[in-house]
């Protein structure tokens, strides 16, 4: 069934890629957090839509987790951490915005070519979803390597996880075990990150990874 259900799913997955691009050119941490919240919101909508068209009620749970946890709790918590720790609010980039956007476009093109070609026989909805999901994953990776602040790397990692959730829900009938574990691992990952941020704060004056780099093990 290709009609409206396909179009909506397509639109939501496409918007997720678009928002991933928006994350790439943010240069303020607060703005980046807001964009990430938007990212998670669209993910929640997309997952809920998948739940509706696949008639898979357990996916609503995944959507709820995305909505409550990723779109609200995490951005608020990170916001407070930034205030509390007095982290620099500008984002330092390793690669300029222009080249990063061009690289991002290249990655999206790559994932389209790869995924659409190899999934020629799968059903069209899952196919498009998977191609978009891979784009989101790669854009998340790109964000992690082009940013220097710990907080923006964490956000890059979480948007990468959003791409994985998109892929997992797009694969029809994938067992519930996995969705819960995906959400759950994000939770654990976040706790770990939280602890790390606090620990880093105890010892360093900055959460900037460049400052961490000074203490490499091999210096005499």
The size of the interface with other proteins (CB under 8 A), counted in residues, is 52
Question: Phi/psi of residue 215, each to 5°?
Answer: -100, 40
Shortest Å distance, C-beta 90 to other proteins: 21
Binds other proteins (CB under 8 A): choice among 83, 110, 118, 124: 118
Q: Which is nearer to other proteins, 34 or 88 (CB)?
A: 88
Q: Where in 151-170 is the site for other proteins (CB under 8 A)?
A: 153, 157, 160-161, 164, 167-168
User: What are the helix and strand counts (H, E) for the chain?
Assistant: 9, 0
Nearest to 207 by CA among 157, 149, 160, 120: 149
Any contact of residue 55 with other proteins (CB under 8 A)? no
Any contact of residue 116 with other proteins (CB under 8 A)? no
Any contact of residue 141 with other proteins (CB under 8 A)? yes
Tell me the C-alpha distance between 17 and 128, whole Å: 12
SS3 category, 202: helix
Shortest Å distance, C-beta 157 to other proteins: 6
Tell me the C-alpha distance between 28 and 201, whole Å: 20
Yes or no: say if 36 and 158 are a contact pair by the CB < 8 Å rule.
Answer: yes
Q: Which is nearer to other proteins, 29 or 161 (CB)?
A: 161
What is the DSSP track for 55-113?
A: T-THHHHHHHHIIIIIIIIHHHHHHHHHHHHT---BPPBSS-HHHHHHHHHHHHHHHHH
Q: Of 3-11, 43-51, 100-108, 136-144, which part binds other proteins (CB under 8 A)?
A: 136-144
Instruction: Return all residues near 84 (Cβ < 8 A) that are at least 6 apart.
Output: none
Binds other proteins (CB under 8 A): choice among 150, 151, 155, 183: 150
Q: Which is nearer to other proteins, 4 or 135 (CB)?
A: 135
Any contact of residue 44 with other proteins (CB under 8 A)? no
Question: What size, in residues, is the chain?
Answer: 220
Residues engaged in binding other proteins (CB under 8 A): 114-115, 117-122, 126, 130, 133-134, 137, 141, 144, 150, 153, 157, 160-161, 164, 167-168, 171-175, 177-178, 181-182, 185, 188-189, 192-193, 195-196, 199-200, 202-204, 209, 212-213, 215-218, 220
């Amino acid at each position: 069934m290709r009609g409206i259900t396909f179009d909506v799913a397509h639109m939501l997955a496409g918007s997720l890629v678009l928002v991933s691009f928006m994350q790439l050119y943010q240069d303020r941490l607060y703005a980046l957090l807001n964009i990430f919240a938007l990212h998670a919101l669209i993910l929640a909508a997309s997952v809920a839509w998948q739940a509706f068209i696949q008639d898979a009620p357990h996916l609503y749970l995944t959507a709820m987790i995305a909505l409550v946890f990723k779109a609200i709790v995490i951005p608020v918590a990170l916001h407070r951490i930034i205030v509390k720790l007095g982290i620099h609010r500008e984002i330092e980039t390793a690669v300029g915005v222009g080249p990063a956007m061009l690289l991002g476009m290249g990655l999206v093109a790559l994932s389209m070519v790869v995924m659409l070609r190899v999934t020629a026989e799968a059903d069209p909805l899952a196919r498009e979803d998977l191609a978009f999901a891979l784009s989101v994953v790669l854009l998340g990776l790109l964000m992690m390597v082009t940013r220097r602040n710990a907080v923006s790397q964490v956000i890059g990692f979480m948007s990468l996880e959003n791409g994985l959730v998109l892929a997992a829900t797009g694969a029809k009938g994938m067992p519930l075990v996995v969705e819960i574990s995906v959400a759950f691992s994000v939770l654990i990952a976040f706790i770990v990150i939280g602890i790390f941020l606090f620990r880093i704060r105890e010892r360093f004056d900055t959460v900037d990874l460049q400052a961490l780099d000074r203490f490499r093990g091999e210096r005499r």
